[in-house]
Amino acid sequence: MAKEISSELLNTILTRVGGPGNIASCGNCMTRLRLGVHDSSLVDPNIKTLEGVKGVILTSDQVQVVFGPGKAHRAAKAMSELLGEAPVQDAAEIAAQNKRQLKAKQTSGVQQFLAKFATIFTPLIPGFIAAGLLLGIATLIATVMHVPADAQGTLPDALNFMKVFSKGLFTFLVILVGYNAAQAWRHGRQWRNYCRTLFARL
């Protein structure tokens, strides 16, 4: 295939995907021209037989025409000019769009529960890791150096501080989980007001 993708080829592709009226978006990744379509039944899968096209991948709402590295961007730019669209979407925008579409399709109860579960506990994972490391290091040092539980001095004080800090997360675990749960179910303001009232009474 020539370095420049011909307008004749792009016009043929445009015709076989249902015409300009069937195009919802135009973008590209490293190797593929990505055309979002309104009606996938209008797409002719024989696009892959066109000279210069290395393959075609069809989904329910998108046609991916494989051109190869360096050619997909030129094809998307030229196709965008044919459609009179705004600047071509890059790979990051396409990934964000696909993520939103996938999220919209998560309609089952199990999927919704797992999504909420991840929203609640994922932000707490770094804290759990840090708390576990601090507690493990403090316990290891105390064991190796034979530091008594009632010992006094800089080292025992430092170890006690590490243990208190590491156990603090687990002490306030219920509050942290409750706060994240309120955020996940869109009740963040009510939960913040409750926390202020709770801490004001302590």
Q: Are residues 111 and 96 in the same domain?
A: no
Q: Secondary structure of the chain in the HEC alphabet? A: CCCCCCHHHHHHHHHHCCCHHHEEEEEECCCEEEEEECCHHHCCHHHHHCCCCCEEEECCCEEEEECCCCHHHHHHHHHHHHHCCCCCECHHHHHHHHHHHHHHHCCCHHHHHHHHHHHHHHHHHHHHHHHHHHHHHHHHHHHHCCCCCCCCCHHHHHHHHHHHHHHHHHHCHHHHHHHHHHHHCCCHHHHHHHHHHHHHHC
CATH of the domain at 85: 3.30.1360.60
Catalytic one among 8, 16, 27, 29? Answer: 29
Last residue of a domain, one of 74, 102, 130: 102
For 59, the domain range is 5-102
pLDDT surpasses 60 at 107: no
Query: Of the ranges 44-53, 138-147, 179-188, which one carries the lowest mean pLDDT score?
Result: 179-188
Give tens-digit pLDDT for 49-86. Answer: 998 898 898 887 888 899 888 788 888 888 888 887 54
Number of domains in the chain: 2
Q: Are residues 91 and 127 in the same domain?
A: no
Last residue of a domain, one of 55, 74, 102: 102
Q: Are residues 12 and 90 in the same domain?
A: yes
Rounded average pLDDT over 161-168: 81
Rounded average pLDDT over 109-126: 75
Q: Please give the pLDDT value at position 191.
A: 53
Q: Are residues 9 and 96 in the same domain?
A: yes
Q: Are residues 150 and 76 in the same domain?
A: no
Using pLDDT thresholds of 50, 70 and 90, give the confidence band for residue 197: low
* Average predicted confidence (pLDDT) for the chain: 77
Active-site residue flag, 26: no
pLDDT surpasses 70 at 99: no
Q: Are residues 70 and 116 in the same domain?
A: no
Q: Are residues 52 and 128 in the same domain?
A: no
Rounded average pLDDT over 100-116: 63
Q: Higher pLDDT residue, 181 or 77?
A: 77
Last residue of a domain, one of 56, 72, 102: 102
Q: Are residues 79 and 129 in the same domain?
A: no
Q: Please give the pLDDT value at position 65.
A: 92
Q: Please give the pLDDT value at position 202.
A: 52
Q: Are residues 32 and 97 in the same domain?
A: yes
